[in-house]
Chain A
């Protein structure tokens, strides 16, 4: 008697049916310490790379909003979003394809001031990209633009020959096109059951004052 174990087949290309595409996940949560990790490990557990992650207080006090961008097939994203929503401190989670959202990323560029001052072409480029000067100093100037990834990337390439010193880009922020109503729900939610205050560790840095073993 013997069993052959050749029934196990795996072809990653076929797994999951539809192809991978970019999804933007929006999560409304309590403002609690440790929740970032609790959400992040849902991705890492499945070995999904997070392309972009933004977390910030929402328009309603006490409620935070996460915007997470990943590349995956829809079936995986749907299950993942259910797992996110299952977390005790998560109020609501959505996922959207890129055409269902309006999104922006902010980018900052630091370039030598004399380069811009001297070269007319640079000035024209910055205008073309709609860049605004945030800080102008003798030695360097910081510009900002907002836009999609390709646009902000493009300006990096363009500025490179003119001595780009530093570049940074924010995570994606996105508005869901069909989200009317949730704002009201959130406010109602906070009004009827206000969130608990965050309790931080007030003892760090007070080693000398307080305790012994």
Chain B
């Protein structure tokens, strides 16, 4: 035990211990902070998003000597850290990692935790906490982080003793990434970060006795589902993020192609199947495509893969697919029958269940049924898509910006969207060639998500072009992260679609509240000047003639670039399933 001997002699800890001797069955004396960083290395973490503060200083001190192994991105606000970690996780398929201090640092994570929880994003957050002996004394920057975050974490745990750290972190990573992924928060008191203990090496966790990440696949349900699919006349597939999280894109595509069944994506499922796939019939939901919504109420078998029947997808539940038999493939047993009654539940990881199902179904085509979707699409094009993508209005539309962008990127970019009208337009019209290309705040609808998430996405997928499409409202919610882009030189393209309104709320006020525009009229700073202040190049355009060249300049620019496009102030997103209506009551205008 050379290391500990050295430590004992010098009376001073070596900063980066040779932990390889720990792997060989011996122990090394290290601090809790070093144990945290060693855990990260063992878990193949390469990037941390964080912000230091009093209660996490020992970890940051240890990090000083780990900079060559761990890339720490200093954000401007902890909300930015967690959204960046989410973007990183969604673009890379790996676990996003966050550091924050106690008190306000930890509470600033809550929105991102809620977002990651509802969108099943694997994130591990480490928060500093006051010394264990101060817990419950209203100490400086003490908050009860564990209890605040319990409803918005898949699992959380408070460490007060350094000896717990290796095992707890192993559990944290395992729980975050396995089964239905989700956020995990580990709160570590300052004394545990400082405490020296005998580190016996890091063992990754593969089992927690009370936790079943995936249910056992039941062959009889697979057989029942296959029989139902084989007898169907008008089957319809709905797919969600489960396909992406399960890394089952290939298995899903094989299932779709053999079955010949038209498939529509939830907003979170977009890019799991290429947009131009002949059986991809569009997007579901309140602002989804006409056919997928309308024909949900005409299909005879509905096959839901890795999606959870959110109310924005189903509309009015008592009029949702009542005529159809429902097959639901999901890894989370609690999702079965939660919103829509299932005829056959196919529990399990879709990477396992889809191939089993594919092997039992007949190779088929449904030309007439598929034609119905095409007819609907034509109708939708006439009623609203053409006017959105090729407008004759003087002012630009959001849709035409996305159309030009598709043209220039060829559908190869990662599109990160914020929340609101621009999000719906981007998700409706953006083309995706490969998986993990659509990153948006789906379930929580977190304005301010896109800017930090794009930073994370770029770091998670450095070889890809990352374009954040953001409204003028949402951009101002996390605008401070421009500082992160500047400091860490993140090559993200920021495309602001500015309609000078909080557009989605304005649309609802127009449609449902007699045009009483209550506090939706938002003014913005000169975004290009703001960007310039951060050393980020940019341009603002209002004329259609400039659009293509401006987009092309943005894409070709080396490094971050901000492009603001002024669009029509009172444009609406259509089609729309008004709240409280059935999906078949979708309106085209």
Q: Is A86 an interface residue (CB 8 A)?
A: yes
Given known pairs A8-B580, A90-B210, the reply for A1 and B161 (CB within 8 Å) is no
A33 CB, min distance to chain B CBs, angstroms:
8
Cross-interface CB contact of A45 among B136, B151, B337, cutoff 8 Å: B151
Closest 3 CB pairs of A and B: A7-B580, A8-B580, A203-B132
Contact yes or no, A34 B210, CB < 8 A: no
Complex interface residues of chain B between 556 and 589 (CB less than 8 A to chain A): 578-581, 587, 589
Contact yes or no, A206 B209, CB < 8 A: no
A1 CB, min distance to chain B CBs, angstroms:
7
A211 CB, min distance to chain B CBs, angstroms:
5
Contact yes or no, A3 B578, CB < 8 A: yes
Q: Is A20 an interface residue (CB 8 A)?
A: no
Identify which of B6-14, B32-40, B90-98, B152-160 touches chain A.
B152-160
Cross-interface CB contact of A193 among B131, B133, B209, cutoff 8 Å: B209
Q: Is A79 an interface residue (CB 8 A)?
A: yes
Q: How many A residues are at the interface, by size bracket? A: 35 or more
Contact yes or no, A82 B333, CB < 8 A: yes
The complex places the Cα of A172 from the Cα of B158 at a distance, in Å, of 31
Contact yes or no, A210 B191, CB < 8 A: yes
Cross-interface CB contact of A29 among B135, B156, B210, cutoff 8 Å: B210
Residue of A2, A3, A29, A89 with most chain B CB atoms under a 10 A cut-off: A3
The complex places the Cα of A205 from the Cα of B207 at a distance, in Å, of 35
The complex places the Cα of A205 from the Cα of B133 at a distance, in Å, of 7
The complex places the Cα of A63 from the Cα of B372 at a distance, in Å, of 56
Least CB separation from A42: chain B residue = B151
Q: Is B146 an interface residue (CB 8 A)?
A: yes
A35 CB, min distance to chain B CBs, angstroms:
10
A77 CB, min distance to chain B CBs, angstroms:
13
Contact yes or no, B135 A201, CB < 8 A: yes
The residues of B that contact A89 with a CB separation of less than 8 Å are 155, 210-211
Contact yes or no, B211 A1, CB < 8 A: no
Contact yes or no, B334 A83, CB < 8 A: yes
Q: Is A41 an interface residue (CB 8 A)?
A: yes
> Which residues of chain B have a CB within 8 Å of any CB of chain A?
131-136, 146-147, 150-151, 154-158, 160-161, 164, 167, 175, 190-191, 207-211, 316, 332-334, 337-338, 511-512, 514, 578-581, 587, 589
The residues of A that contact B164 with a CB separation of less than 8 Å are 199
The complex places the Cα of A83 from the Cα of B117 at a distance, in Å, of 14
Contact with B along A195-211 (1 / 0, CB 8 A): 11001011111110011
The residues of A that contact B158 with a CB separation of less than 8 Å are 33-34
The residues of A that contact B316 with a CB separation of less than 8 Å are 7
Cross-interface CB contact of B150 among A9, A34, A204, cutoff 8 Å: A34
Contact yes or no, A79 B338, CB < 8 A: yes
The complex places the Cα of A8 from the Cα of B512 at a distance, in Å, of 12
Contact yes or no, A41 B151, CB < 8 A: yes
Contact yes or no, A207 B134, CB < 8 A: yes
Least CB separation from B151: chain A residue = A41
The residues of B that contact A1 with a CB separation of less than 8 Å are 511, 589
Cross-interface CB contact of A88 among B131, B210, B579, B587, cutoff 8 Å: B210
